Chain A
């Protein structure tokens, strides 16, 4: 009885802030300007297929780069002394205490013409623009989401029983074999939650592409941002499609995770 009463605020919360908005988006997405039922918003939304594809591509690329960077880092972290582990974790987290926009501005300054990167490279005789392209967007996203990849992998890895590593060594594994046969398979749940935590927000992110990308690097989040106040229906339709994409992605990830099930 008691636990039921305690859960009421949360149920209300979910109802007001999760369920109702989803239903409202669903309803809005099927209305035309006059408020009648219509599939027109979806027709318009499909006009943004290229942007969709580009967004998913950028998100996928950022996730992949995050994974490649984060996995060795997480592995190294688990092998450090406990005090060093905490220090490195702290350093990873500190940028997140700063405002999101500020971090993006910092990258704009770093990458802009005659900015620090340009100046440094010009000494080597290399000149160019490093902002206003897809690469800059990906760099910004990787910077933004790297901690979300490192932490879950690190958490799962640091929970691997040291005795298992000893058992593997005992049975004839050198360090490479220990990694391949024990640490890697047991770290997969961390990898999956890391991918989820990076891919989902980066697919729907906005502003990063506006500030760091070129004109054709606009992402689906930016489209929603731009059109929503003039065309709520199309905005809702795009959101709905994005939600479905993410849902399918999560289901796929979980299926993959189940195959590698850790009992």
Chain B
């Protein structure tokens, strides 16, 4: 509630942007309030840096509005915006020393020399670089360069500081201490920080609110606790922290069926017999005796992680990850329990039963038992099935009839991997082609935000000839 009372400082309204025909930002809406530390989190290529650059004024959206302090600022150049950026690769001026780098913005404001000096020295003290004024920036370590970059942005006293993966180039230990320091600096200076990262842990550690993005869309906005405990979908659950994500069927309010068992949960309003995604965090799974377990499984492996044991339990064909302070014997049969509150139900990312193509046969060869159709400007040949030319046909491709490895260019050349979610057994992969989305299963781990060829295995498909407008007799 307290958050809501703070003034909204910057608003993105229905921001849409394409680059080279690719949609980069797909109708983004985001409000950021005063003194807030907001992190935009997502895999590379999700549009998070572009969002930041739109606020900074380096990129103009194709449509939509950028509102700053109540005023529309579309078209205002960066130097006229009350916003400063800490760039990914620091972008310090190599021809200036530490002092002059930090003083750069103040000198442009034509402040008196004495005041500039005071402000710069004070800021250098805040970022722990006292006495480094005369050093050449090239001779500083990565962490020190980072601090100069932060000081250079902060000293201008902007309303908002934008930070574009500023800790990306630092080693783990330094990154951890800089995370805390940044949070501390934000408290001290009472500025609004908008921070971009692909590191979920960083996002959870530092932020007041986290904005999770994927493929040009905001998936969820919430406090770190909210996005961790109540992810809205399998993408968010998978991206933030470790999670068991399973296919389930909602039997009714508060009843979900997973791994062949009906369990009690706390979610309502999903209808009956609705396929859903179910998230159970590893630390929420309780290992017990087989008699007391809701589910039964065999311990496959146990790894000591310091604070806890990571136990992999095979339930049927599915792998369940458990974090427990007690160890278990590999090979033994154990029971697993989860309290209803810790079972999180989510709508499916892509609620389909199979991939359906509805098309018209463009060419058919009865003797060769094959036909052709067109899809997204590609001509696709189906072997082992004859359907006469001109017929309307509906092709149902089960999830395992799609693959992204094979010979040749693929039936569709460049499809985009939008998300990869491990479902305890196989990866569920959502692909995006020019006009639609596809769902496939894969045993191998694929890289999101890359382009791959897509192959169809029509031997696993089912075909349904449907009435076409120019042909009344219907199914042949």
Task: Using CB atoms and an 8 Å cutoff, list the residues of chain A in contact with chain B.
Answer: 161, 163-164, 166-174, 177, 181-182, 185-186, 260, 262-263
Contact = CB atoms under 8 A, between A and B. Distances in A.
B87 interface: yes
A170 B94 CA distance: 17
A165 to B, nearest CB: 9
B53 to A, nearest CB: 9
A168 B89 contact: no
B89 A163 contact: yes
Contact of A260 (B78, B95, B156): B95
B85 A170 contact: yes
17 contacts: A163-B91, A164-B94, A166-B58, A167-B87, A167-B93, A169-B58, A170-B79, A170-B83, A170-B153, A172-B156, A173-B79, A181-B104, A186-B94, A262-B95, A263-B94, A263-B136, A263-B139
A161 B88 CA distance: 13
A249 B260 CA distance: 88
A67 to B, nearest CB: 20
Nearest to A181: B104
B187 to A, nearest CB: 23
Contacts of B94: 164, 186, 262-263
Residue of B87, B91, B105, B153 with highest tally of chain A CB at under 10 A = B91
B84 interface: yes
A170 B56 contact: yes
Contacts of A163: 87, 89, 91
A60 to B, nearest CB: 27
A167 B156 CA distance: 13
Contact of B95 (A166, A170, A185): A185
Interface string B108-126: 1100000000000000000
A219 to B, nearest CB: 37
Contact of B77 (A161, A167, A169, A181): A169
A165 B153 CA distance: 15
Interface residues of B, number: 26
Given A166-B87, A169-B77, 8 more contacts: A166-B58, A170-B85, A170-B153, A171-B79, A173-B108, A177-B108, A185-B95, A263-B139
A174 B76 CA distance: 12
Contacts of A181: 93, 104, 108
B158 to A, nearest CB: 9
Given A166-B58, A263-B138, A263-B139, A172 B91 contact: no
A172 B89 contact: no
B209 interface: no
Given A181-B104, A263-B139, A169 B91 contact: no
The 3 lowest CB-CB distance pairs between A and B, nearest first, are: A171-B105, A263-B138, A167-B91
Nearest to B155: A171
B314 interface: no
Given A163-B87, A173-B79, A186-B95, A168 B138 contact: no
B48 interface: no
Nearest to A178: B79
Contacts of A172: 79, 105, 108-109, 156
B353 to A, nearest CB: 48
A88 to B, nearest CB: 25
B77 A170 contact: no
B147 interface: no
A173 B85 CA distance: 13
Contacts of B257: none
A261 to B, nearest CB: 8
B304 to A, nearest CB: 44
B392 interface: no
Contacts of B423: none
B152 interface: yes
Contacts of B84: 170-171
Give the residue among B56, B94, B139 with the most A Cβ atoms within 10 A.
B94
A57 B302 CA distance: 84
A133 B15 CA distance: 65
B220 to A, nearest CB: 29
A166 B139 CA distance: 22
A174 B84 CA distance: 14
Contacts of B91: 161, 163-164, 166-167
Contacts of A177: 79, 108
Nearest to B104: A171
Nearest to A177: B108
B78 A166 contact: yes
B77 A164 contact: no
Interface in B77-107: 77-79, 83-85, 87, 89, 91-95, 104-105
Contacts of B105: 171-172
Contacts of B139: 263
Interface string B44-85: 000000000000101000000000000000000111000111
A170 B108 contact: no
B73 to A, nearest CB: 14
A262 B96 CA distance: 9
A171 B152 contact: yes
A168 B56 CA distance: 12
Interface in B134-149: 136-139
A177 B56 CA distance: 18
Contacts of B104: 168, 171, 181
B123 to A, nearest CB: 13
